[in-house]
Amino acid sequence: MNALLELKNIRHAYGKQPVVKDLSLTLAKGDIGCLLGPSGCGKTTVLRCIAGFESISAGEILLNGKEVSNARFSMPPEQRHIGMVFQDYALFPHLTVAANIGFGLHRMQKAEKAARVAELLRIVGLADSSARFPHELSGGQQQRVALARALAPRPDLLLLDEPFSNLDVSLRERLSLEIRDILKSQNATAILVTHDQDEAFAIADEIGVMHHGEIQQYDIAYNLYHRPANRFVANFIGRGVFLSGTVLDSHHVEIELGTLTGEVPHQCGHSCRVCSPGHSVAVLVRPDDIVHDDGSPIRATVLHKAFRGADILYTLRLPGGSTALSLVPSHHNHAIGEQIGIRLEADHVVAFSQSDEQK
C-alpha cells in the first residue's frame, strides 16, 4: 500500500490525563478515512496532532514517508501541506465566495488562480454564486465553499472536523454523499472526524471506531456492523441487543429464538479464543435479524414501537423474558401489548464470551 499518512503508536495527554494512547493508523493515497466515536474519545485530538496544532509525547507521524512529528520535534502546521475544514466553516465574511476559495492561492499567477477557482466553483456546484458573500449562502453552500477553499491548493491531506454538525439531518445525508463524490473526483486523501456513524458510512472508505483514546477497530462499514471486534464496537455501531447463548460446536450457537451458524471461535471475544461446547456466550442480535412472521410459533409481546415511515422499530419481549428489537415494514402496524409472530433470520454469529466486558 502506498501510505500517505502513518501514525505509529502516538500518545498525547493534557497534563497528566492521557487522551491518545499508542494509536496507530495508516491511510493510503486517495483513500478517505474516518475517526468515529463518542464525545471525549480523543478523535479531534488525533486530528489536531496530524495537523500540527498539538504535539505528541511518544510515537511518530509521517506524511509521504517523511516524519513530521515525534516526541522531540513537530513540523509547523503551515509546512505540512495539509488542508482543513472546520466545524464552523471559518469563512471570511468580507470576502466573496470566489475570494474565499482563492485565499490560499497567492503563489499562483493570476490566470492560473482564476482557473483553479472556476474549476472548484463548478465542482462544488456554486458557479453562479462566485460574487456572493458567505452570509448570503445556506449552511450547505457555506460548507461547500469551505471544502473548495481547503482543496484549492491541492493539499496532500485534507482533514474534516465534524463538518456537518451545524446542519439539519436531511441536509447532512445529502451533503455527505456529495462531499464524497467531490473528494473522489479530486483524488483527495482525507480524514473525517465525526460522532455520527451515518456520516462515516456515507463518506469513508475505512472507519476507525475510537474509545478512551484508542482505535477499537479500523475496518470497512460492513465489517464494523456485522463483524465487530469487541463489545464496545458492537454496541456503538448500529442497534441491537445481546441475548444469552450456548455454544453447540465450533460453528453453531443456540439462543432462545433458534440456532445460529457461523465461525464461533473467531467472534467469541478476546478472552475466549476457542469456545468449547456448552460455553455461555453473549450473542448480538440486530433488528434486521428478527423477522415478523404471522405463521411462526414463536410469539413476542410488543413493548414499544417507533414509526419510521417505511418501517417500524419494535421493542419486543421474548418468551424467555429477554428484550429484542425488530425492524418491520410499516404496514404491519401492531399495538403495544399485542403478541406477534417472529422468527430468527440471521446467517452469521456475532458472539462474545460472557466475561468479555466492554473496554
* Residues 189, 5: Cα–Cα separation, whole Å: 9
| DSSP conformation class of 297 | S
Burial of 271 (C-beta count, 10 Å sphere; 0-12/13-18/19+): exposed
| Beta strands 351-353; 190-194: pairing state | unpaired
Helix (H, G, I), strand (E, B) or coil at 110: helix
The x, y and z cell numbers of residue 94, run together, are 468580507
The x, y and z cell numbers of residue 328, run together, are 418491520
Length in residues, the chain: 359
Q: Tell me what pLDDT residue 359 has.
A: 46
222: number of Cβ within 10 Å: 9
Q: Tell me what pLDDT residue 268 has.
A: 54
Dump pLDDT digits (tens) for 224-233.
Answer: 998 898 999 9
Q: What are phi and psi of 32, to 5 degrees?
A: -115, 115
* Residues 257, 317: Cα–Cα separation, whole Å: 12
Residues of the chain with pLDDT under 50: 265-267, 269-271, 274, 358-359
Distance of CA 145 to the CA centre of its chain: 23
* Residues 115, 236: Cα–Cα separation, whole Å: 45
Dump pLDDT digits (tens) for 39-63.
Answer: 999 999 999 999 999 999 999 999 9
Residues 63 and 2 sit within 8 Å (Cβ to Cβ): no
* Residue labelled with grid coordinates 479500523: 218
* Residues 76, 116: Cα–Cα separation, whole Å: 26
The x, y and z cell numbers of residue 269, run together, are 471475544
Q: Tell me what pLDDT residue 357 has.
A: 55
Q: Tell me what pLDDT residue 269 has.
A: 45
Kindly report the pTM of this predicted structure.
0.89
Helix (H, G, I), strand (E, B) or coil at 80: coil
* Residues 263, 253: Cα–Cα separation, whole Å: 10
Q: Tell me what pLDDT residue 166 has.
A: 78
The kind and range of the H/E element at 302 are strand 299-307
